[in-house]
Amino acid sequence: MGLWQRIKRVFFAGTGAALDRIENPEMVLQQTIRDMRDRVPELNNSVAQVMATERLLLKQKENLSTQVVDLDSKIKASVKMGRDDIATAYIGQLQQAQHDLERTGAQAEQAQLSSKQALKARDNYVLNMKKRTAEAMQLISAAKQAKLQEQLAQTMETFNIGDDASTFNEMREKIDRRVAAAEAKLQLGSASVDSQMQDIEREAMDIQMQDKLLEYKQQMGMLGPGTPSESKQIESGSGAVHEAEVLNSDILDEANEKSQSS
């Protein structure tokens, strides 16, 4: 193979590959449909011209038939009048008219056949065009669906589920750390010296209220003499108050020592 042939082959191969890449099936099919529809008016014009020729020939045939009848009448009248010269002239015209009538009749028959064939061809073309249009629309729909699937496939290729999963795990870990820190602070706050002091003060207040209630009952005579349980309760209440005050002072001393050491 010569060098020039190889260059031509490479050129055509590259051109074909480039056209394959830029060729859009949807656009090509739509253009094909438009081309087929654009040919319908041209085909109708051609059929109309054939039909017009047919009608013209039929009209000429009708006129020639009338002329033949008229010339025949004139020839008979001339013969009756003894004008052979005029009759001879009319006979010449009659022969020419009969020849034209025969020729025009054959042309009219051919024109009628051509008109039928043209109409049939036009109808077949329109039917085929509708069929091809429906097929092209299906192919266009398939091409659109294929394009959407290709875009979806490209999107799925670029979507990496691992990256998002690691992000979720990282955020979950951060939130768990924050929740744990908040719970630790809450627990530390509830176990602090102030909280313990509040609990002790609340307990001491309850004991004082119980003692005050017993005092009112004694004043009102609701408690008889010799009620050791109530006396013990009062004594235990006063002991509890004393223990609460001692514990409160110990907690304050411990808190002061920690603050001084820090």
219-232 tens-digit pLDDT: 887 776 545 444 44
Residue 240 has pLDDT above 80, yes or no: no
Provide the mean pLDDT of the chain. Answer: 76
pLDDT at 238: 47
| Per-residue exposure over 84-93, b if at least 16 CB sit within 10 Å of its own CB, e if not | eeebeebbee
Average pLDDT estimate for 25-38? 80
Inform me whether the pLDDT recorded for 99 exceeds 90: yes
Asked if the model's pLDDT at residue 211 lies above 60, the reply is yes
Mean pLDDT of 155-163: 59
Lowest pLDDT segment from 117-121, 199-203, 239-243: 239-243
Mean pLDDT within 128-148: 82
- 136-140 contact pairs (CB < 8 A, 24+): 136/29, 136/30, 136/32, 136/33, 139/25, 139/29, 140/25, 140/26, 140/29, 140/30
> What is the pLDDT, as a whole number, of residue 233?
46
CATH entry, 3-149, from 1.20.120, 1.10.10, 1.10.3470, 1.10.287: 1.10.287
Question: What are the tens digits of pLDDT across the range 46-78?
Answer: 888 888 998 999 999 999 999 999 988 988 898
Whole-angstrom CA distances from 11 to 5, 116, 161 are: 10, 49, 44
Q: What is the pLDDT of residue 254?
A: 57
From 9-23, 70-84, 165-179, the region with the lowest mean pLDDT? 9-23
Domain range summary for the chain, segments of one domain joined by +: 3-149, 187-261
pLDDT at 19 exceeding the cut of 70: no
Q: Side chain identity at 83, as an amino acid letter?
A: R
19-36: string of b/e by CB count within 10 Å (b at 16+)? eeeeeeebeebeeebeeb
**91, 68 contact by CB (below 8 A):** no
- Paired tokens of 43: 């085909």
pLDDT, position 252: 54
Percent share of the chain, pLDDT over 70: 69
Task: Give the orientation angle of helix 228-261 with respect to helix 193-219, to 10 degrees.
Answer: 160
The more confidently predicted of residues 147 and 84 is 84
